[in-house]
Structure 1
Amino acid sequence: MSPAAPSTDFVAVINEYQPLLRRVCRLYCADADDRQDLFQEVVLQLWRAWPKYVPQEGAKLSTWLYRIALNVAISNLRQRTRRPQPASLEGEALHLAQAAEPIGYEPEEMAALYRAINRLSEVDKAFVLLYLEERTYEEMAEILGITQNNVRVKMHRVQEKLRQLLTQPA
């Protein structure tokens, strides 16, 4: 049962946490159109789950938002990887596509970081996102549903992978 119009509470939450949701989308989609589609899907799933949201003592709203956004992003990525890929670019078109700057005007270091992050597994990307959002290990554990010790171990491994990817020639 969903109301005809979104509640002002929901709209306020989406407006407040839109940067967080967009960062999740940016991490899982390189293409601007795909990011927008994913953002819309995340908001739709949040809207569907909103009536069931019950704040728990000590739990943050951002934890709940992250959990849903990451699950939607990972599901979306899995669906995209199952679809047949379009024919690859050839010749000059391929050269132009590879030489193109990333969406927006990011510094080269940021572009290199996103390229390295995109080479990580979907789960490792979630760790990176939470780390970049300066989430504590406790918050990461709660969002990802694992122990803090497991977060520490996985974060160390992800950081090592990123270091290797960033030092490898492109």
Structure 2
Amino acid sequence: MSTDFYQTSILPFAAIIIKICRAYTHSQEDFEDYYQEVCLQIWRSKANFREQCTWSTWVYRVSLNVCLTLLKKQKTNARRYITPDVLPDVATVNNRAFDNEPLNQLYAAIKRLSEVDRALILLYLDEKSYPEIAEVLGTNANNIGVRVSRIKERLKKILHEEFD
């Protein structure tokens, strides 16, 4: 990957990649692996970008697809190698991307949502319009508002449970 491509096509959209990778990982190491893989896939797939959407929408799509793919692979590997008495303690992770406690609580709540709902709420929190969210997720914009409302209610319940 050239430095120019990274500087002009990835770095300005790093916040998008970071948010998505953060929502699908539990440790700094996984986060860094996901981030690196997303950047690599954006670079590899740049020729597939047909300008039918904005570059930021493309970055969202690639980021989500890569994270979901890695998550599925990780779940498959975890089933093979982790026994119930050797589960990782994700609550004790303390590192750079995970050092803001209120943000950690929000991400912990978001991680309890389904994979699609996570993506939807991340796009909503990033102030994307309903049509933009629908475009990234490949769905109809008409039901996005209802889904966002339901997700927000679920997050309130989850966060309320955490503090009680």
| Greater share of residues in helix | 2
The alpha-carbon deviation at position 86 of structure 1 amounts to 3.4
CA deviation profile, 1:24-69 (whole Å, cap 9, x unmatched): 111110210101111111111111110121213xx31101110110
Which one is further off, 141-150 or 109-118? Answer: 109-118
Which residue number in structure 2 is paired with residue 119 of structure 1? 112
User: After TM superposition, which residue ranges in structure 1, 4 or more long, deviate above 6 angstroms?
Assistant: none
Q: Secondary structure at the match of 1:146?
A: coil
Residue 60 of structure 1: aligned partner:
54
Partner of 1:72: 66
Q: Secondary structure at the match of 2:45?
A: helix
Aligned residues: 158
Rg comparison, structure with higher value? 1
AA at the equivalent of 2:106:
L
**In the TM superposition, what are the counterparts of 1:9-158 in structure 2 within 5 Å?**
9=5, 11-56=7-52, 59-83=53-77, 84=79, 86-87=82-83, 88=85, 98=91, 100=92, 102-104=94-96, 105-107=99-101, 109-158=102-151
Structure 2 unpaired stretches of 5+: none
Unaligned runs of 5+ in 1: none
| Residues 154 and 7 (structure 1), Cα distance of their counterparts in 2 relative to 1, 3 Å cut | same
TM-score (norm 2): 0.84
Is the 8 Å Cα contact of residues 41 and 72 (structure 1) preserved in structure 2? Answer: yes
> Does the alignment pair 1:168 with 2:161?
yes
Letter in 1 for 2:132: E
CA distance in 2, matches of 1:101, 1:80: 18
CA distance, structure 1, for counterparts of residue 86 and residue 104 of structure 2: 21
Please provide the CA RMSD for this pair: 2.4
SS at match of 1:168: helix
Deviation per CA, 1:84-115: give whole Å up to 9, x if none.
3535469xx96xx74x46534313x3222111
